[in-house]
Structure 1
Amino acid sequence: MKTPPCALLAEVRTFRQNHPDVRYVDLIALDIPGHFYGKRYPVEMLEKVAAGSPLKLPQNAVLLGVQGGLFKIGDYCFNDGDPDANRRLVPGTLKPVSWESQPLGQMLITSDGTDAPIEFEPREVLARVLQRLQHKGIHPMVAFELEFYLFDKKLANGLPQFPRDPLSDDADDQPNLHIERLSRFGVVLDDMAQTARDQGIDSTVITAELGPGQFEINFGHSDDALRAADWAALFCRSTRGVALKHGYHASFMAKPYLQFPGSGMHVHISLYDGAGNNLLAAHQQQPLRHAVAGCLQLLPHCMPIFAPNHNALRRLGGTVNAATRASWGFEDRDACVRIPESDPRNLRIEHRLASADANPYLVLAAILAGLEHGLETRQEPIAPLNDDRSSGTDFPVEMLDAVRAMQHHRVVRDTLGAEFVDVYCENKRQDHLAFQQEIHAREYRWFL
């Protein structure tokens, strides 16, 4: 994982030559709820970091709640002295930021690959899973798909408004899949796609989705699973910035409208051996069945990762292509785990349960842990939806139930790390309690 300082230093110096007007670079990392934190560095100081100077940030920045506050989690945050922890620069991620009012750069940082990685840092959790798979001769190929909504820049009494059609100035309030919507919002969508490419993200297909103002972006398949998750995280940041520049809000909120479809994070995964053979396609696709069984077995115990907040739980069930139970099927978008039609070389699973605002590092780590568990235990999956439309197993749809199902599950603790599981579950439990500490107008209407 470590990159020689000379290569990082060359990257920084090349960036400075190509962007002489950039004075500052945001060094950013994803916390547990999926928000970026970090520091804004003068670009000349970045050269010193690239040359080997230490880069330290508070360890507990990773533990921030969804609203940015710190929770007491074991001895972390309030009984540990709030120590610093080393971070490193992620090679290849130093890019210009085009959506800010001033010239700026950004670069990912992480604790994985340092001498003392933070056990509960999301990128480190994924890195450990990938390292274990690599030692077993398993090499994932990964592609993310993200759905998101555009809203008008101005809220109405705190509520989102439909985006204005730039050609007619009418509200885009009709749910549809029409290709014309891509043209009507083409300027902002093209800027989002180009900005993503400028960030080094392999963005490909853009689709107008069913919800009003809803779109989907696909990313290219990558044999570097960490980089694939980096792309998903960085795209969310750049897309929000580009939308504001054009007078919109872009949101990856899972269920902004009760009456319209939610936004999901779909993850395509193939598994290959060192010779490039698709492991899922071997022995008449028997490993595929084992992998599916493992995914479905762990899925109910990873729900706080796939649906990380109250709004994400609202997305599950009752709308188009949102599963209500842990299920699978061939070419079936009602299933949590879909097997798209493909040739044996490209045989893959598509995991469709996670919400668009979930943490991509943790989502991918949880899916890979399920695949790994299935390949090792070699169990047969339940019947696919193609054979039985009622097939499936229940998963928790209340946050405290989901946390309890995750925290004490032996396989989840073994594969994702016991320290991470304890920290993550307590973070979600505290977020739940904080969410409950506000009385909304509806309660007064019902009970006053």
Structure 2
Amino acid sequence: MKSQSATLLAEVRTFRQNHPDVRYVDLIALDLAGHFYGKRYPVEMLEKVAAGSPLKLPQNAVLLGAQGGLFKIGDYCFNDGDPDANRRLVPNTLKPVSWESQPLGQMLITSDGTDAPIEFEPREVLAKMLERLHHKGIHPVVAFELEFYLFDKKLDNGLPQFARDPLSDDADDQPTLHIERLSRFSEVLDDMAQTARAQGIDITVITAEIGPGQFEINFGHSDDALRAADWAALFCRSTRGVALKHGYRASFMAKPYLQFPGSGMHVHVSLYDGAGNNMLAAHQQQPLRHAVAGCLALLPHCMPIFSPNHNAFRRLGGTVNAATRASWGFEDRDACVRIPESDPRNLRIEHRLASADANPYLVLAAILAGLEHGLEARLEPIAPLNEDRSSGTDFPVDVLDAVRAMQHQQVVRDMLGAEFVDVYCENKRQDHLAFEQEIHAREYRWFL
């Protein structure tokens, strides 16, 4: 602990020397819904926390719903006195914030690694999964890809408007993969990439996607899976801020337009042993088949994680590369689990089902749970789409059906933690009820 405190203290002091104009630092963590919560600390107080002073925030902040409110979940929130829980600073995440109007810093915090971790905190769920895999000699290497849309900063009666082409001032309303879009929006995209790199995020490829104003960002492969998920979470925060600075809205909403492709979170995962050998490539790739089968077996029971809200379910079976059944295939983007062409050293799965607004910690934990389950049970997969285009198993495409399928699946409860599963499912059930407590104009048109 003394060594860690010394390292953190050095990090804070170096930050203060390099950024003497920064007076406050946002200490942030991701809740169940995938939103950041936290506190804004004076930088001199942050130095005290780094030196070992307690850092406490309400435990129930993790339980916030999609709109930020608290739901009664078991004894949490309204029968527990709203207790504080310890958090710690995540090393190497103290970075300057460039998209605010005043000089500011931000730093990740977490309960994992404290004396009493919060069992349902997303980062802790992933940390426990990784700890178990490491004890078994399994070391994941992970890379995320995130799709998002740019919209005009102003909404039209609450509805998004197409982003305006900076060169022509016309609405970018045409679906296209043309690379010229990268040039037309280069100012904001370059700022997003540079800002992400300043946050310590390994940004690699930028792609213009099919949807109007839609783009994809790839991150580098990391042998620190927690850090890979940190990158995905932090990128969403910085990208929204940079977009507003340039007069746009950036959104990771899963399906903003019914007629255009949705936005996904694609996760590449390979597994290595302690000697650095790719475990999926061993024995004529038989472990790869087991891993794929495990992913497909648990996928129907992890849908509330992969599609965390009503809009995310709209993306399934959409116009481009969004499956409605659990499937796999080699070099096949219609599959939920794709095996990209690669040499044995880099053999990996690409899990393509999650929506871009899903919680990256939970998505990765669910994927790793599937991989572990398949390897341990030596499961065999169904036929790949390359052999049978109709191959696949059904999964829930309704919020409440998905919640029921997750809550009562014993392998998922064992892998991700029963307390987390119960809390998360009730959170999603309450979100559903809250979403239904509003009459929309369409209902009056249909039924008045």
Same fold? TM cut 0.5: yes
Corresponding residue number in structure 1 for 2:229: 229
Corresponding residue number in structure 2 for 1:329: 329
Give, in whole Å, the separation in 1 of the partners of 2:441 and 2:385: 42
- Does the 8 Å contact 1:99/1:241 carry over to 2? yes
Give, in whole Å, the separation in 2 of the partners of 1:222 and 1:366: 18
- Does the 8 Å contact 1:76/1:82 carry over to 2? yes
Cα distance, 1:125 vs structure 2: 0.1
C-alpha deviations, 1:43-86, integer Å up to 9, x for none? 00000000000000000000000000000000000000000000
Give, in whole Å, the separation in 2 of the partners of 1:382 and 1:154: 47
- Does the 8 Å contact 1:407/1:413 carry over to 2? yes
Give, in whole Å, the separation in 2 of the partners of 1:62 and 1:405: 23
Helix, strand or coil at the partner of 2:41: strand
Cα distance, 1:422 vs structure 2: 0.1
Structure 1 gaps, min length 5: none
Using structure 2 for the length normalisation, give the TM-score.
1.00
Give, in whole Å, the separation in 1 of the partners of 2:434 and 2:399: 13
Give, in whole Å, the separation in 1 of the partners of 2:3 and 2:188: 36
Helix, strand or coil at the partner of 1:373: helix
Q: From the superposition, tell whether residues 435 and 290 of structure 1 become closer, same or farther in structure 2 (CA, over 3 Å).
A: same
Q: From the superposition, tell whether residues 2 and 216 of structure 1 become closer, same or farther in structure 2 (CA, over 3 Å).
A: farther
Give, in whole Å, the separation in 2 of the partners of 1:283 and 1:372: 17
Corresponding residue number in structure 2 for 1:85: 85
Give, in whole Å, the separation in 2 of the partners of 1:320 and 1:429: 29
What root-mean-square deviation, in Å, do the aligned CA atoms of Structure 1 and Structure 2 show? 0.8
Helix, strand or coil at the partner of 2:172: coil
Q: From the superposition, tell whether residues 135 and 177 of structure 1 become closer, same or farther in structure 2 (CA, over 3 Å).
A: same
Give, in whole Å, the separation in 2 of the partners of 1:388 and 1:432: 36
- Does the 8 Å contact 1:99/1:245 carry over to 2? yes
- Does the 8 Å contact 1:294/1:370 carry over to 2? yes
- Does the 8 Å contact 2:262/2:318 carry over to 1? no
Give, in whole Å, the separation in 1 of the partners of 2:305 and 2:318: 21
Helix, strand or coil at the partner of 1:406: helix
Corresponding residue number in structure 1 for 2:210: 210
Give, in whole Å, the separation in 2 of the partners of 1:367 and 1:348: 12
Give, in whole Å, the separation in 2 of the partners of 1:255 and 1:184: 24
- Does the 8 Å contact 2:261/2:318 carry over to 1? no
Cα distance, 1:3 vs structure 2: 6.1
- Does the 8 Å contact 1:143/1:269 carry over to 2? yes
Cα distance, 1:2 vs structure 2: 9.3
Helix, strand or coil at the partner of 1:10: helix
C-alpha deviations, 1:392-445, integer Å up to 9, x for none? 000000000000000010000000000000000000000000000000000000
- Does the 8 Å contact 1:2/1:113 carry over to 2? no
Helix, strand or coil at the partner of 1:3: helix
Helix, strand or coil at the partner of 1:105: strand
Q: From the superposition, tell whether residues 116 and 3 of structure 1 become closer, same or farther in structure 2 (CA, over 3 Å).
A: farther
Give, in whole Å, the separation in 2 of the partners of 1:40 and 1:119: 25
Q: Hey, which bits of structure 1, 4+ residues long, moved more than 6 A? A: none
316-325 or 224-233: bigger deviation: 316-325
C-alpha deviations, 1:281-317, integer Å up to 9, x for none? 0000000000000000000000000000000000000
Q: From the superposition, tell whether residues 2 and 307 of structure 1 become closer, same or farther in structure 2 (CA, over 3 Å).
A: farther
Cα distance, 1:379 vs structure 2: 1.2
- Does the 8 Å contact 2:65/2:427 carry over to 1? yes
Helix, strand or coil at the partner of 2:128: helix
Helix, strand or coil at the partner of 1:217: strand
Cα distance, 1:157 vs structure 2: 1.0
Corresponding residue number in structure 2 for 1:243: 243
- Does the 8 Å contact 1:326/1:392 carry over to 2? yes
Give, in whole Å, the separation in 2 of the partners of 1:153 and 1:445: 29
Give, in whole Å, the separation in 1 of the partners of 2:195 and 2:3: 26
Cα distance, 1:319 vs structure 2: 1.4
Give, in whole Å, the separation in 2 of the partners of 1:135 and 1:242: 40
Q: From the superposition, tell whether residues 3 and 343 of structure 1 become closer, same or farther in structure 2 (CA, over 3 Å).
A: farther
Structure 2 gaps, min length 5: none
C-alpha deviations, 1:198-231, integer Å up to 9, x for none? 0000001000000000000000000000000000
Give, in whole Å, the separation in 1 of the partners of 2:162 and 2:51: 48
C-alpha deviations, 1:97-145, integer Å up to 9, x for none? 0000000000000000000000000000000000000000000000000
- Does the 8 Å contact 1:58/1:85 carry over to 2? yes
Corresponding residue number in structure 2 for 1:38: 38
Cα distance, 1:30 vs structure 2: 0.1
C-alpha deviations, 1:231-273, integer Å up to 9, x for none? 0000000000000000000000000000000000000000000
- Does the 8 Å contact 1:306/1:354 carry over to 2? yes
Cα distance, 1:318 vs structure 2: 3.2
- Does the 8 Å contact 2:292/2:381 carry over to 1? yes
Give, in whole Å, the separation in 2 of the partners of 1:77 and 1:139: 36
- Does the 8 Å contact 1:280/1:287 carry over to 2? yes
Using structure 1 for the length normalisation, give the TM-score.
1.00
